[in-house]
Amino acid sequence: MSTAHDATAPDARARFRMERKPRALRLVAEGEWTTKDAAKLSAALKHIDLGDATTAEIDGTHLDRLDSAGAWLLVRTKREWEEQGKKVGAIALAPVYDSLLHTVEHEHTAPPVTIHNRHTLLAFTERVGKATIHGLQQGLGIMGYVGRVTVEATEAIYHPRGNLRVAALIHQIEETGINSLPIVGLLSFLIGIVLAYQGADQLKRFGAEVFTINLLGVGLLREIAGLITAIIIAGRSGSAFTAQIGTMRVNEEIDAMQTIGINIVDALVLPRVIGLAIALPFLTFYADIMGLLGGAVMCYFDLAITPEVFMRQLQEAISLNTFLVGMIKAPVFAMIIGMVGCYEGLQVERNAASVGRLTTRSVVESVFLVIVLDAAFSIIFSIVGI
């Protein structure tokens, strides 16, 4: 009794047939058993009905071509049959495939890896958990680091032991301050225009368009100019800090500095943080001026308010405190941006991918912290009553 069982269409490159005898089974593989057709073959092989056979044979001597995936299918079938208690003889193959069969059959004995489906609820929960733990560790790490930088910075100021690198500091002031004047200026100017336009549009309805100037003055000086500047600088300089220090980490420059005995905080962190803390208040002041200028231009064209009227109204609208409230936040923002940027740079591992990842993280974290701090300042000022 012998039944033919075509695994795939008769004209297919890869096929097999089953020869059945009482209590015995014989698989004859034919054609080209290659990776290309492995999926079809695999499915067909899984559906073989073993029937009452107690012994089985696998005959590959009629194969025209066999590659490692094909060989794997033969070996897998043999193993599966053996697991079901059948007696399976050695796989018969042309001698050219001996070493291939040996490689597949003897070097590979472990069960296949399972790749977890990443979309299940369990996996989601796991990711949330991991991210939470990671976030907490991150917070702890930053706190430790902020402590260290604070101590070293205080030391550098109160007991100058020549560890503040003046050249590097000046370079950082130039890099983060002077070089970002164009972008900060342009953006503040535009923000001033937008704010004036929107304010005028709304206040016109009450005939109170002159109060646009109050809105501009208070809004810009207290909040917006400082915030915009800090966010621009976080994107521009904070990311640069992470990328620079991170690249040094990848190149083992940081390790080299450490072995020479250079204090990393002194050499890399303090010039950047202090440089930024000096530059950012100036930038904020500059942004104040540019924003008001933009507003004045808009007021002149939209509301026909002359510069003289603008100045007079501005003087009435704002006090010195309004200006100082905005300015006092700048060095704090600078510290945060600088420290986060340097901290993330030092966290870089020795591969290029982590530089990119941590640079992104550094920008996100510093923008986040800047806004959170700004809110905190608002609360404090409202309690103090400024």
Partner 1 sequence: MSGPIQNQGGKDKDIVIKVRQLVNAFGNQVLHDHLDLDVYRGEVLGVVGGSGTGKSVLMRSIIGLNEITSGSIEVFGHNTAHLNEAQWRELEQRWGVLFQEGALFSSQTVAENIQVPLREYLDMPQELMNEIASMKISMVGLPDLAATKQPSELSGGMKKRAGLARALALDPEIVFLDEPTAGLDPISANMFDTLVKDLQKSLNLTVFMVTHDLDTLRATTDRIAVLVDHKIVVGTMEELRKNPHPWIQEYFSGPRGRAAA
Closest listed residue to residue 213, CA positions, set 296, 306, 153: 296
Applying CB under 8 A, among 84, 103, 179, 306 the residue interacting with partner 1 is: 103
Rounded to an integer, what is the distance from CA 359 to the centroid of its chain?
8
Check residue 88 and give left, alpha or beta (phi > 0: left; psi -120 to 50: alpha).
Answer: beta
Count of residues in contact with partner 1, rule CB under 8 A: 30
User: Which CB atom, from 21 or from 134, has the smaller least distance to partner 1?
Assistant: 134
**Cα 241 from Cα 253, distance rounded (Å):** 15
Nearer to partner 1, 72 or 286 (CB): 72
Stretch that binds partner 1, among 97-105, 134-142, 144-152, 237-245 (CB under 8 A): 97-105
Q: How far is the CB of 351 from partner 1 (least distance, A)?
A: 6
Q: Which is nearer to partner 1, 33 or 241 (CB)?
A: 33
Question: Encoding tokens for residue 223?
Answer: 């909040």
User: By C-alpha distance, which of 26, 8, 107, 102 is closest to 62?
Assistant: 26
Nearer to partner 1, 5 or 76 (CB): 76
Name which of 2 and 109 has its Cβ closer to partner 1: 109
381 vs 226: CA distance, rounded Å = 15
Site string for partner 1, 334-353 (x = CB under 8 A): ---------------x-x-x
136: amino acid identity, one letter: L
Q: Does 378 bind partner 1 (CB under 8 A)?
A: no
Please identify, using beta-carbon distances, which residue of 299 and 348 lies nearer to partner 1.
348
Separation CA 238–CA 99 (nearest Å): 58
Q: Give the span between the Cα atoms of 27 and 62, in whole angstroms.
A: 11
Q: Segment 19-78, which members bind partner 1 (CB under 8 A)? A: 34-36, 38-39, 42-43, 67-69, 72, 76
DSSP calls for 236-297: IIIHHHHHHHHHHHHTTHHHHHHHHT--HIIIIIHHHHHHHHHHHHHHHHHHHHHHHHHHHH
Q: Are 199 and 300 in contact (CB under 8 A)?
A: no
Q: How many CA atoms lie within 13 Å of 45's alpha carbon, on the beta-carbon side? A: 26
Q: How many whole angstroms separate alpha carbon 32 and alpha carbon 52?
A: 29
The least distance separating partner 1 from the CB of residue 254, rounded to whole angstroms, comes to 19
Q: How far is the CB of 2 from partner 1 (least distance, A)?
A: 29
Write the burial class of residue 297 (CB in 10 Å: 0-12 exposed, 13-18 middle, 19+ buried).
middle
CB 359 → partner 1: shortest distance, Å?
A: 16
- The one among 21, 23, 87, 102 contacting partner 1 by CB under 8 A: 102
Q: How far is the CB of 104 from partner 1 (least distance, A)?
A: 6
Question: Of these, 24, 100, 190, 250, which contacts partner 1 (CB under 8 A)?
Answer: 100
Pick between residue 35 and residue 137 the one whose CB is nearest to partner 1: 35
Under a CB-based contact definition with an 8 Å cutoff, are residues 370 and 226 in contact? no
- The SS3 of residue 121 is helix
CB of 277 to partner 1, least distance (A): 35
Nearest-angstrom CA–CA distance, 272 and 373: 20
Q: Which is nearer to partner 1, 36 or 165 (CB)?
A: 36
Distance of closest approach, residue 77 Cβ to partner 1, in angstroms: 12
Q: Which of residues 104-133 bind partner 1 (CB under 8 A)?
A: 104, 107-115
In angstroms, what is the minimal distance from the CB of 35 to partner 1? 5
Provide the binding-site residues for partner 1, judged by CB under 8 A: 34-36, 38-39, 42-43, 67-69, 72, 76, 96, 99-100, 102-104, 107-115, 349, 351, 353
